[in-house]
Structure 1
Amino acid sequence: MAWSRPVGWILDHLVYRTTVRGRSNVPAAGPVIFAGNHISFLDGPVMFGAAPRPMHILVKQEMFTGVLGRVLTASGQLAVDRSGGRAALQRAKSILDAGHCVGILPEGTRGSGDAASINNGVAWLALNSGATVIPVAILGTRTGGEHLNAVPRPGRRLHVSFGGALTVSRRPGETGRASMDRVGTEIRAALSRHVQDTIRSSGQQLPDADAPNPPQTAVAGTPADHHLRKVQ
């Protein structure tokens, strides 16, 4: 990912004007899961460019075609088959087990970005890898009633904020499913709070939730929960 890190920086700071906060919250070493809210197809690249450490981001496999697919593969991103995500989750766990970082947009699809609900893939990864979870608020990549496929005009002010570290674990006597549901709730609440805190500090609002919703072409989060039951 050596070549793609500068590309991410250029996107954040030359194409757009990105304010980055909370980088000191990210551990300098060890496995980290960056869990960001999802409002635009640019969220993954913007988070990638703003983070103090490189990461492998889970991206839906439909994006891995043509030139873009070769770029995603060469930059170390992970293809997610949303009809059944076992392989992607296991690959992500292997990366975390090696002490590296994974990025995930656990809302799964683009929307208002308020983290009102998330898929439990992020909880599965956190529990099974012991990785630290960092909630990431991404604002400005889509605003107001902009179309879900809207490309922000160059020069727009974006905001990326890395929240406080969250460490999770199973409790004695707790079933695997109960642990995953509890931890998913904890991560969702932490991400939602951090998004609201970032809105207050930046003055940047979330986009409308009911913007036109065409077929998805964006960076994806995790597979649906019913597919995750296969990897418990």
Structure 2
Amino acid sequence: MRRHPCRGEAGREVSDPSNVPSERGAEVGRRIGVGLMYGLWRPRVLGSWKVPATGPVILAVNHSHNIDGPMVIGVAPRASHFLVKKEAFIGPIATFMRATGQLEVDRSTADRTAISRALGVLANGGVLGIFPEGSRGDGDFASLRSGLAYFAVRSGAPIVPVAVLGSTDRRGRLIKALPPLRSRVDVVFGDPFEAGDGSGRRTRAALDEATIRIQKHLTAHLDNARRLTGRQEDAGRPAER
């Protein structure tokens, strides 16, 4: 587990408005995402009303396919800013992602700039999207990084678990790296919950405890999402890539 950022690391730049990504840009990205996701696939969205209409929120999304982030951006009821690995910021795509308020993060270190900007999103009452597993995998929340707990405890923002199911069922005919066009992808939003224990502690032990607490909530939500969508058979099946 990587070290937790110190309290002061994130706090130095949060107050600088120019360092926080554009909410207007994120809304433009959401509208573009709506057109793309509903135009290319058939999203079935459950529980989107559970996302608080105002105030800071963290969307904790399972991650098994590259479209998971864009899919959530397109179907979520509010504009969102996702933490995205720096390797994805290439060429014109990088320009688009920055313009739509997505956050570039260096996963090899405690990226102070990314931490500061993410906390700035929450301080401004925005929506922060995180893949708590850190990278693509089976999307089962089996192994979480400590970042989600840090942002939740540091900001006090509630976490809304999000399960994206069906994105890895089959490969597309035209583009193997994408799900088949017009195939169904389920996105299930869960009940918001608090990561902290109410004590206000921000010690490493408190963050480790919060990570365990978060994992229980996320795995329970994923199990429930599979039942709701009839995708119980997906459990334990390796993602197709």
Counterpart in 2 of 1:219? none
Query: Does the aligned pair in 1 maintain the 2:43–2:186 contact within 8 Å?
Result: yes
- The sequence identity of aligned pairs, in percent, is 39
Measure, in 2, the Cα distance between the counterparts of 1:135 and 1:109. Answer: 17
**CA displacement at 1:168 relative to structure 2:** 2.8
Matches within 5 A, 1:44-193: 44-84=69-109, 85-143=111-169, 150-169=177-196, 172=199, 176-193=203-220
Partner of 1:228: none
8 A Cα contact 1:143 1:206, kept in partner = no
User: Is the 2:50–2:192 contact (alpha carbons within 8 Å) kept by the matching residues of 1?
Assistant: yes
Alpha-carbon distance in 1 for matches of 2:179, 2:236: 12
Tell me if the contact between 2:171 and 2:178 (Cα under 8 Å) persists in the aligned partners: no
1:169 to partner: Cα distance: 2.6
Question: C-alpha distance in 2, partners of 1:161/1:211?
Answer: 20
* 1:38-59 deviation per Cα after TM superposition (whole angstroms, max 9, x unaligned): 0101110001111111110000
For residue 191 of structure 2, give the secondary structure of its aligned residue in structure 1. coil
Structure 2 equivalent of residue 209 of structure 1:
238
Structure 1 CA distance for aligned equivalents of residues 46 and 200 of structure 2? 39
Question: Where do 5+ consecutive residues of structure 1 fail to align?
Answer: 213-232
CA RMSD of aligned residues (A): 2.1
1: CA distance, partners of 2:77 / 2:148: 20
Greater Cα offset, 83-92 or 180-189: 83-92
Q: Which runs of no fewer than 5 residues in structure 2 stay unpaired?
A: 1-25
Give the corresponding residue for 1:225: none
The amino acid across from 1:74 in the alignment is A
Counterpart AA for 2:205: A
TM-score, normalisation: structure 1: 0.84
Q: Return the structure number with greater relative CO, CA threshold 8 A, min gap 6.
A: 1
In the alignment, is the contact (CA less than 8 A) between 1:143 and 1:208 conserved in 2?
Answer: no
1:14 aligns with 2:43: no
Instruction: Calculate the TM-score normalised by the size of structure 2.
Output: 0.81
Shift of 1:3: 2.3
Q: Which segment drifts farther, 47-56 or 81-90?
A: 81-90
